[in-house]
Amino acid sequence: MTTTLGLVLRDSVVLASDMRATAGYFISHKHAQKLFKIDDHLGATIAGRVADAQTIMDYAQVEASLYKLQRGVPMKVRAAARLIANILFQSRYHMPYYVQSLIAGIDSTGPHLFILDLLGNLIEDKSVSTGSGSPFVYGLLEDQYNEGMTVEEGKTLAVRAVHSAMERDAASGDGIAVAVITSEKGFTRLSEEEIQKILNGSKR
């Protein structure tokens, strides 16, 4: 149970998540890692069973590094998403991974965002949210998101959307993680100070 989101912007991608891990009604961790860097141009979020998610992300990071080492070019976003989708699909009957992921990044064809479910279904979209807090996130995205948004506008919307979910969803909370992926700077995480500044600005 969690809240994650991804946004494709004019020339970048934004990923965000909360930081609460739960076991039923018990808050098992308050600084859970749900937003991952796969490569300099690739990122992902996870919702679901933590051990499964960590295994999938470790595998994706290794495969992306090997791909770049062997071919001399970074793995395309769709290829990374398809790689993880294949893993999920192949394990669906015997030992399924209980995880839903967003895979996002920028390559030679532009910014991309894919959503994957635990059965390996793969869908490309422009704005997506997963987890128990997603209904609250979609309330903001449906009203405010558009593809022409700047990086600053996208960061602000992502922070406000996750914060909104944390206010109403008991399984989401304890902080916000945000990353921006651009062709110039690659994968960059927002600091706690930057996130707090956005929250303070939205309260005025």
Q: Is 45 a catalytic residue?
A: no
pLDDT at 29: 59
What span, in angstroms and rounded, lies between the C-alpha atoms of 108 and 75?
10
Task: With H, G, I as helix, E, B as strand and everything else as coil, classify residue 62.
Answer: helix
pLDDT at 25: 62
Q: Could you tell me which of 47, 42, 32 has the C-alpha nearest to residue 137?
A: 47
CATH number for region 4-202: 3.60.20.10
Contact 142, 2 (CB under 8 A): no
| pTM score of the predicted model | 0.90
Q: List, for the chain, all residue ranges whose pLDDT scores fall below the cut of 70.
A: 21-30, 91-93, 95, 170-171, 173-174, 202-204
Q: Could you tell me which of 110, 53, 124 has the C-alpha nearest to residue 84?
A: 53
What span, in angstroms and rounded, lies between the C-alpha atoms of 104 and 16?
11
Task: With H, G, I as helix, E, B as strand and everything else as coil, classify residue 26.
Answer: strand
Domain ranges of the chain: 4-202
pLDDT at 118: 75
pLDDT at 26: 60
